[in-house]
C-alpha cells in the first residue's frame, strides 16, 4: 500500500514540475548535473562556504558538491534554450533529481 501512496505523491510532484518547466525535461540531465557539480566543486576548492553539514572526514570537493546538490539548497539556475532563441531559467530546486 505504501508504494501506491508513494507513486501517487510522485505523480503529483511530476505534474507540479511540468507546470513550471516549459522547455526540456522535468529532470536534471546528466550534463547539467556534471556542469553544476563541477562548478560548485571548483567554488568549494577555492574556499567558498559549504552550505551543508559535512561529515568529519570528508574533504573531496566533488563529493561535498554532490551532497549539496542532493539536498537541493544550491542557489543556482539552469538556462535551457531553444534554437529559436527562446529560453527559460529554471532553479535547480524546481527540477527532479534522478536516483543514481
8 Å CB contact between 92 and 28: yes
Please tell me the CATH superfamily of domain 2-94, with its number: RNA polymerase subunit, RPB6/omega (3.90.940.10)
Cα-to-chain-centroid distance, residue 94? 8
pLDDT tens string 20-65: 999 999 999 999 999 999 999 999 999 999 999 988 899 999 999 9
Nearest partner of 92 among 100, 80, 84, judged by Cα: 80
8 Å CB contact between 60 and 47: no
Q: State the pTM of this model.
A: 0.84
**Of 62-66, 72-76, 81-85, the least confident:** 72-76
Q: How many helices (H) and strands (E) does the chain have?
A: 3, 2
Break the chain into its structural domains and give their ranges: 2-94
pLDDT at 4 over 80: no
Question: Residue 83 CB: number of other CB atoms within 10 A?
Answer: 5
Amino acid at each position: 500500500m505504501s508504494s501506491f501512496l508513494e507513486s501517487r505523491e510522485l505523480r503529483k510532484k511530476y505534474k507540479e514540475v511540468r507546470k513550471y518547466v516549459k522547455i526540456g525535461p522535468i529532470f536534471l540531465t546528466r550534463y547539467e548535473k556534471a556542469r553544476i557539480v563541477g562548478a560548485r566543486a571548483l567554488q568549494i576548492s577555492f574556499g567558498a562556504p559549504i552550505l551543508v553539514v559535512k561529515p568529519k572526514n570528508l574533504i573531496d570537493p566533488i563529493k561535498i558538491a554532490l551532497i549539496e546538490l542532493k539536498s537541493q539548497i544550491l542557489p543556482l539556475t539552469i538556462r535551457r534554450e531553444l534554437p529559436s532563441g527562446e529560453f527559460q531559467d529554471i532553479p535547480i530546486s524546481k527540477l527532479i533529481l534522478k536516483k543514481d
